[in-house]
Amino acid sequence: MAQKQFSGVTVDVNDEGYFTNSSQWTIDIAKAIAIEEGIQLSDKHIDVLSFIRKSVAGGAALTIRSMGKSGIVDVKEFYGLFPGAPLKKATKIAGVPKPTSCI
């Protein structure tokens, strides 16, 4: 198991940098990961990350489509908040495993 340090805290991650123990996540760690991903977190980002964490904790399978139906963001806004690979970036920043729908 690999480890990585964010904001002075060491967390367990897999080879791709996704958390293997989501209980180690904090908002300060999220901000540090976001900076690595080239994103400055806003309140809207935090709302999306909270939705992702609650969904994954509840056993939901995340997809771009489910994010668009979240009531938090539409698909276009989701891509704007997390450009490039929005679901991969958002889940990494949220401290949850990479969705199986992501390659």
Number of domains in the chain: 1
Q: Is residue 55 part of a domain?
A: yes
Residues 6 or more apart whose Cβ sits within 8 Å of residue 82: 37, 39, 45, 48, 89, 90, 93
Q: How confident is the model at residue 100 (pLDDT cuts 50, 70, 90)?
A: low
Q: Is residue 103 part of a domain?
A: no
Active site residue 102: yes
pTM listed for this prediction: 0.91
pLDDT at 101 exceeding the cut of 70: no
Q: Which domain holds residue 78?
A: 2-94
Q: Is residue 33 part of a domain?
A: yes
Give residue-wise pLDDT tens across range 28-69. Answer: 999 999 999 999 999 999 999 999 999 999 998 899 999 999
Q: Is residue 90 part of a domain?
A: yes
Q: Which of 13, 33, 34, 102 is catalytic?
A: 102
Cβ–Cβ < 8 Å for 27, 95: no
